[in-house]
């Protein structure tokens, strides 16, 4: 077990480093588990080997309402209204069991797009243009709100940071980039014969100039992310089709390396040293209350010295992370 590959092997490695089994380590197993969690968390927060850069691909979801029966198909894009709740929405798709919708509004606060209340159980839902009706189900979870109504995208708990998203017009099908009559399409089409020439400098400079104009006059889509919420907020015009249901959003993220999957994490040199110092600090903290107690044979317990030594080792190790192992700060470049 010189190279720990599991959580238990790492624990035993650190205990042997402290003297086990020659010396009895006066730390309870739950305390050891807590210190290991603390060490892994620090490793994932600050060590460049604790995270990976990845691209999170998310498909935009619409809200849904369950229905018990209907008289016909609703038209895509039409407005539906609840007969009891007066809630309204825009149809994305429908079948015999569920209506997928967006741009939901109700009678509580239409101006602020309040979605705290919605369609009611067993009420009749009517389409404005098709004239079709449906009876809402009696299920307790009648309505499920999607990304468009929530105005955010839910991300995995393993994602600790988001640095940006791909341009939305470049990620969705049928957008301006792939449109036959779009400027970008025509520009690529006309430049294609020149790409076989000996130089593509003109093409490269033209594309950079187009990107600069887009950044200046259109700008990047604002976003907000906090890892404790696990929500990526996009400050865009959700109601006016900046993003359609079933389009994709690609976000550049940093995701923690899961040790249970990639077991080589347990053998990381820094992690072994840091967890050992945490165990030592816990051991010293447990023995402090026995400071000065004399054991048979004249030996005196001195937990405070061990505790202070561990504090010094942890401080030095954490300083090394900032100097050697932490990723550099990303600087924002471009128009504000």
For residue range 161-220, what is the model confidence (pLDDT) as tens digits?
A: 998 888 776 544 444 445 566 666 666 666 666 666 556 777 778 778 877 877 776 667
pLDDT value at 135 more than 70 = yes
Q: Are the CB atoms for 63 and 102 separated by under 8 Å?
A: yes
Q: Does the N-terminal peptide bond of residue 21 adopt cis geometry, omega within 30 degrees of 0?
A: yes
Please choose, from the candidates 27, 37, 57, the residue with its C-alpha nearest in 3D space to the C-alpha of residue 260: 37
What's residue 336's pLDDT?
A: 38
CA 26 to each of CA 40, 90, 163, 255, 284: distance values in angstroms, whole numbers, following the listed order: 22, 64, 44, 36, 9
What's residue 5's pLDDT?
A: 94
Residue 57's SS3 state is strand
Residue 86's SS3 state is coil
User: Is the pLDDT higher at 198 or at 283?
Assistant: 283
Helices (H) then strands (E): counts for the chain: 7, 13
Q: Does the N-terminal peptide bond of residue 238 adopt cis geometry, omega within 30 degrees of 0?
A: no
Share of residues in the chain with pLDDT > 70 (%): 79
What's residue 297's pLDDT?
A: 65
Integer Cα distance of 305 and 325 in angstroms:
29
pLDDT value at 231 more than 70 = yes
Q: What angle do CA 313, 269, 286 make, to 5 degrees?
A: 40
The torsion region of residue 211 among left (phi > 0), alpha (psi -120 to 50) and beta comes to alpha
Q: Model confidence over 19-59: pLDDT tens digits? A: 999 999 999 999 999 999 999 999 999 999 999 999 999 99
Share of residues in the chain with pLDDT > 90 (%): 54
Residue 100's SS3 state is strand
What's residue 168's pLDDT?
A: 75
What's residue 106's pLDDT?
A: 61
Average pLDDT value for the chain? 84
Q: Helix 7-18 to helix 269-287 angle, to the nearest 10 degrees?
A: 60
């Amino acid at each position: 077990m010189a190279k720990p590959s599991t959580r238990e092997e790492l624990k035993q490695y650190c205990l042997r480093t402290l003297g086990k089994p020659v010396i009895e380590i006066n730390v309870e197993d739950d305390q050891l588990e807590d210190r290991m969690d603390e060490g892994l968390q620090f490793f994932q927060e600050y060590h460049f080997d604790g995270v990976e850069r990845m691209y999170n691909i998310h498909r935009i979801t619409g809200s849904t309402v369950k229905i018990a029966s209907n008289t016909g198909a609703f038209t895509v894009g039409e407005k539906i209204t609840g007969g009891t709740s007066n809630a309204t929405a825009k149809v994305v798709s429908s079948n015999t069991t569920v209506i997928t919708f967006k741009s939901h509004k109700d009678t509580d606060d239409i101006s602020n797009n309040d979605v705290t209340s919605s369609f009611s159980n067993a009420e009749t839902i009517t389409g404005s243009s098709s004239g079709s009706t449906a009876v809402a189900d009696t299920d307790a979870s009648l309505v499920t709100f999607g990304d468009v109504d929530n105005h955010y995208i839910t991300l995995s708990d393993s994602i600790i940071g988001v640095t940006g998203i791909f341009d939305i017009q470049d990620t969705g099908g049928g957008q301006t980039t792939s449109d036959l009559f779009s400027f970008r399409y025509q520009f690529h089409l006309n430049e294609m014969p020149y790409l076989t020439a000996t130089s593509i400098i003109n093409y490269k400079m033209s594309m950079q100039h187009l990107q600069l104009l887009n950044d200046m006059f259109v700008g990047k889509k604002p976003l907000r992310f906090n890892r404790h919420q696990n929500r990526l907020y996009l400050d865009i015009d959700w109601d006016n089709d900046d993003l359609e249901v079933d389009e994709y959003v690609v976000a550049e993220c940093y995701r923690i390396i899961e040790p249970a999957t990639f077991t080589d994490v347990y053998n990381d040199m820094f992690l072994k040293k840091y967890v050992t110092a945490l165990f030592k600090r816990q051991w010293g903290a447990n023995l402090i209350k026995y400071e000065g107690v004399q054991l048979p044979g004249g030996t005196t317990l001195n937990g405070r010295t061990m505790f202070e030594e561990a504090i010094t080792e942890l401080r030095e190790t954490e300083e090394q992370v900032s100097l050697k192992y932490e990723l550099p700060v990303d600087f924002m470049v471009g128009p504000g």
